[in-house]
């Protein structure tokens, strides 16, 4: 019998849940909400840093995830959220000053659309020719290092976001302990919701200590009271200028490497060979980026934070991401929810980010373990070592008007270094 385009998603109630399996509806909904929580902080932070409307970013993350789901036939469990790879080039192209809305957002959006188009073309090429050439460029030692670097590169952001006071630092520690406690000492559904449950516990503790006992900055709910329940986000239209397009479009190469690493991580965790779907995944991500850029959203990518959640829960059902996308779309039209999320203390979000980004880094190491990468071989040792330090140290290179940030430098460095050393070894 021919394989259907979408899986049939057989029901399973415990253990590891594969991409073509599903949990009962209540658990599926709860896990979808957890994935929304996992992606929310980073997906909102990226547009804020670029002067974009965060509600548009949330909305288009949901729409983009649904589009990705359709393109890959529901066989690759992934969430698409705001990509940090765009921040530097968008600021450079639009001249954004760092405060308030980006007055030149249209020019940036034109570049994002161009990037999505280039990304889609690369995906079509992979669909036509296969992934062999990508595999040669990015074997497990490279992809494992790139995935690990994504987590390590984000680590300083997580630590800095905690806050500067002693109370903030201790609240981050409490948050980490809350998430860890849920992960280790609970069972069943609560354990599967470790990120969401740990965040809620830490939030309530903060509320008691700060609002109740005056030990820290109180949570201010006045913005929630003023915000409307539903309303349109601030959509915007792209403006196509060649210089901005040439500046932003090359980010597609970084997205390809990032997406490849993410899919390799998911393949390692699920035990499923997702390589035949690689081209479709690139196309889905590229189309979603074009769509987001066309209405005022940031470029999107498969999200490492959600991969971290899957690594922790061992639930890979792709249906969960449909629920997450639907929740994100609803929330994108809710200023009140946006205001409520804004009340989560930075120290609590920072603590959660430390856990999630750490799980991403470990997912990279798992690629090495699962593929039995031999680190007694000097080539593998040098490639991994240099890549990790370039990424963790956020080593940047300026090439004309284009600045290649730490993740990009580490990614291209890993690819080139492995190719050069392989050539020498041959």
- Quick: pLDDT tens for 48-96: 767 788 889 999 999 999 999 999 988 888 899 888 778 767 877 787 7
User: Contact, 79 vs 321, CB < 8 A?
Assistant: yes
Helix%, strand%, coil% for the chain, nearest 5: 70, 5, 25
Kindly state whether residue 129 falls inside one of the protein's structural domains.
yes
Kindly state whether residue 3 falls inside one of the protein's structural domains.
no
Beta-carbon contacts of residue 405 (< 8 Å; ≥ 6 apart): 85, 88, 394, 396
Kindly state whether residue 138 falls inside one of the protein's structural domains.
yes
Domain encompassing residue 185: 17-425
Backbone angle region of 7, left / alpha / beta, with phi > 0 → left and psi within -120 to 50 → alpha: beta
Give the pair of three-digit tokens for residue 8: 């049939």
The Cα–Cα gap between 17 and 40 comes to: 24
Backbone angle region of 324, left / alpha / beta, with phi > 0 → left and psi within -120 to 50 → alpha: alpha
Kindly state whether residue 225 falls inside one of the protein's structural domains.
yes
Taking CA atoms, 397 is separated from 167, 257, 405, in Å, by: 37, 18, 7
Beta-carbon contacts of residue 295 (< 8 Å; ≥ 6 apart): 56, 60, 235, 236, 237
DSSP state, residue 276: G
The Cα–Cα gap between 189 and 315 comes to: 11
Taking CA atoms, 256 is separated from 38, 40, 265, in Å, by: 22, 22, 14
The Cα–Cα gap between 50 and 99 comes to: 9
Kindly state whether residue 10 falls inside one of the protein's structural domains.
no
Beta-carbon contacts of residue 51 (< 8 Å; ≥ 6 apart): 94, 96, 98, 100, 101, 102, 103, 105
Kindly state whether residue 12 falls inside one of the protein's structural domains.
no
The tally of domains found in the chain comes to: 1
For residue 112, what pLDDT is reported? 93
Query: In 3-state terms, what secondary structure has residue 216?
Result: coil
Would you say the C-alpha torsion 169, 171, 172, 177 has a positive or negative sign? positive
Residue-wise pLDDT for 6-35, tens only, equals 888 888 877 788 888 888 888 889 888 888
HSE (side-chain half, CA atoms, 13 Å) at 200: 10
Kindly state whether residue 7 falls inside one of the protein's structural domains.
no
For residue 293, what pLDDT is reported? 93
User: Contact, 394 vs 405, CB < 8 A?
Assistant: yes
How far from chain centre, in Å, is Cα 171?
24
First vs last C-alpha separation in the chain: 45
Low-confidence ranges of the chain (pLDDT < 70): 1-2, 41, 45, 49, 88, 97-100, 188-193, 338, 399-405, 423-426
Kindly state whether residue 75 falls inside one of the protein's structural domains.
yes
The Cα–Cα gap between 373 and 141 comes to: 6
């Amino acid at each position: 019998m021919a394989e259907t385009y979408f899986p049939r998603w057989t029901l399973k109630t415990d253990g590891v849940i594969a991409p073509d399996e599903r949990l009962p509806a209540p658990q599926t909904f709860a896990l979808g909400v957890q994935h929304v929580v996992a992606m929310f902080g980073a997906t909102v932070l990226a547009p804020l840093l670029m002067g974009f409307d965060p509600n548009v970013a949330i909305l288009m993350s949901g729409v983009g995830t649904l589009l990705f789901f359709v393109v890959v036939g529901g066989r690759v469990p992934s969430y698409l959220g705001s990509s940090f790879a765009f921040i530097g080039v968008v600021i450079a192209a639009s001249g954004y000053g760092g405060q308030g809305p980006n007055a030149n957002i249209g020019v940036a959006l034109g570049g994002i659309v161009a990037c999505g188009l280039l990304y889609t073309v690369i995906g079509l090429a992979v669909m036509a020719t296969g992934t062999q050439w990508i595999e040669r460029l990015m074997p497990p030692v490279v992809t494992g290092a790139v995935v690990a670097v994504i987590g390590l590169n984000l680590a300083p952001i997580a630590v800095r976001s905690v806050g500067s006071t002693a109370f903030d630092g201790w609240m981050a520690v409490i948050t980490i302990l809350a998430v860890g406690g849920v992960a280790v000492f609970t069972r069943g559904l609560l354990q599967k919701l470790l990120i969401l449950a740990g965040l809620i516990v830490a939030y309530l503790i903060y509320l008691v200590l700060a609002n109740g006992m005056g030990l820290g900055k109180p949570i201010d709910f006045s913005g929630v009271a003023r915000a409307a329940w539903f309303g349109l986000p601030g959509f915007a239209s792209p403006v196509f200028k060649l210089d901005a397009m040439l500046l932003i479009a090359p980010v597609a190469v970084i997205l390809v490497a990032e997406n490849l690493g993410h899919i390799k991580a998911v393949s390692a965790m699920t035990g499923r060979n997702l390589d035949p779907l690689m081209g479709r995944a690139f196309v889905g991500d590229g189309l979603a980026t074009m769509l987001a850029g066309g209405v005022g959203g940031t470029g999107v990518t498969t999200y490492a934070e959600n991969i971290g959640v899957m690594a922790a829960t061992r639930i890979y059902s792709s249906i969960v991401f449909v629920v997450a996308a639907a929740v994100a779309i609803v929330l994108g039209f809710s200023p009140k929810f946006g205001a409520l999320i804004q009340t989560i203390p930075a120290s609590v979000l920072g603590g959660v980010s430390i856990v999630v980004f750490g799980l991403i880094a470990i997912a990279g190491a798992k690629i090495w373990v699962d593929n039995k990468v031999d680190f007694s071989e000097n080539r593998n040792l040098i490639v991994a070592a240099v890549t990790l330090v370039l990424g963790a140290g956020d080593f940047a290179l300026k090439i004309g008007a284009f600045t290649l940030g730490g993740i990009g430098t580490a990614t291209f460095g890993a690819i080139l270094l492995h190719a050069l050393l392989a050539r020498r070894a041959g």
